Structure 1
Amino acid sequence: MNFPKIKTSRLILNQLENEDKNALFKIFSDEKVVKFYDIDVFESEQQSLELINFFNKRFAGKTGIRWAIRDKDTGELVGTCGFNSWNTNMKNATIGYELSSCYWGSGLASEALSAIIQFAFYNDTLFGQVYRIQGDTMLGNTASESVLRKLGFKQEGIRRSSGFWKGKFHDLKCFGLIKPEFEEV
């Protein structure tokens, strides 16, 4: 199966490659980017290669997909987005994303996520049909919450101590989007 390529007005979304290790390291070595993330600040480009390999194995195993977010004009990697899980039987997926902090507030995250959500809801040739997409945010991650709400996600509740990383438990806000709600946006 070929990795799907998606184009928007300002972005190209395609597969991460080993050549992206430097740009990915810059993104994940930024404390602001990983503040609400379930990983620590990257200390080496080897960690970037391992992450690229992890994302690509998930695609090969048909359990998830992660696109590189690239500037359409320059080809520069500015972040990643995708579905951390994709459950064909349950017809649902879990969304994940990050953007280089120098692009925050530019609308690129919303643009990229809108494109992959549309892809998931209306293209069942990848891993099968999706009817529901879930997004979780750590408490205090208001920027991420804003992006999800802009795309039509509804807050469904708080899952207490649902995540454990960086040595402690985290409450997570659960957001959900179902296909008919996205059609209304």
Structure 2
Amino acid sequence: METTLLFPKLSTDRLILNELVKEDSEVLYRHFSNKDVIKYYDLEAFSSIDQASTLIQLFKKRFDEALGIRWAIRLKDNGDFIGTCGFNSWNSKMRSSVVGYDISKDFWGNGYATEALRETIKIAFSGGLPCGELNRIQGDTVPGNGASEAVLKKLGFKEEGLLRESGYWKVRFHDLKCFGLIRSDY
């Protein structure tokens, strides 16, 4: 008997975090076709709406298989999509996960990423995800992405070191700064 996981819907003062659905393909396409949004991202700018649809299917499959979760970030007052966040992967045995997030350029500098991540961290450390209660959340940034580093630091993540040439995308290797947040420090 197959169990269907219930996708958790989260809410903050200004935001709703819920599942990306097929109807989000167009807005997700616009989001990930913006070169500023994907500057530090491990993907090329989207050139077709099919890429957005495929990404939504990938996020759904990862959640259905209890491998990770990605929420749409929407404004609470009007439901407009402004980005995504979630745990790209988790390791239930090790009780750890890697976090990721992105905000549409028109909404940068308003604290939305911090607000959304605060809520996702809360559910992760309380055991409200299919992976169980996490003890460690890792965030990796590309050196030079000061805005992303600031978000992690505001949330209590500690810089743990530089992972030299740890990432490979856009036909080159990338160093990654590793940040970690431990449940007991949260």
| TM-score interval (norm. to shorter) | over 0.9
**Equivalent position of 1:139 in the other structure:** 143
Cα displacement string for residues 22-66 of structure 1 (whole angstroms, at most 9, x for unaligned residues)? 111111010000000000000011000011011110000101000
| Structure 2: stretches of 5+ with no match in the other structure | none
Kindly indicate whether residue 120 of structure 2 is the aligned counterpart of residue 116 of structure 1.
yes
TM-score, normalisation: structure 1: 0.97
Conserved 8 A contact 1:68-1:81: yes
Conserved 8 A contact 1:69-1:112: yes
Query: Which has the larger helix fraction?
Result: 1
Kindly indicate whether residue 100 of structure 2 is the aligned counterpart of residue 96 of structure 1.
yes
**Equivalent position of 2:57 in the other structure:** 53
Alignment coverage as a number of residue pairs: 182
Alignment partner of 2:7: what SS? coil
Q: 1:3 aligns with which of 2, 7, 29?
A: 7
Per-residue deviation, 1:123: 2.6
Q: Take 2:128 and 2:69, find their aligned partners in 1: how far apart are those partners?
A: 14
Cα displacement string for residues 121-173 of structure 1 (whole angstroms, at most 9, x for unaligned residues)? 01345221100000000111010000000000000000000000000000000
Q: Take 1:131 and 1:124, find their aligned partners in 2: how far apart are those partners?
A: 13
**Percent of aligned positions that are identical:** 53
Conserved 8 A contact 2:123-2:129: no
Amino acid at match of 1:6: L
Aligned-residue CA RMSD (Å)? 0.8
Per-residue deviation, 1:79: 0.4
Amino acid at match of 1:29: S
Per-residue deviation, 1:117: 0.3
**Equivalent position of 1:73 in the other structure:** 77
Q: Take 2:128 and 2:28, find their aligned partners in 1: how far apart are those partners?
A: 29
Cα displacement string for residues 84-122 of structure 1 (whole angstroms, at most 9, x for unaligned residues)? 011110000100010101100000000000000001001
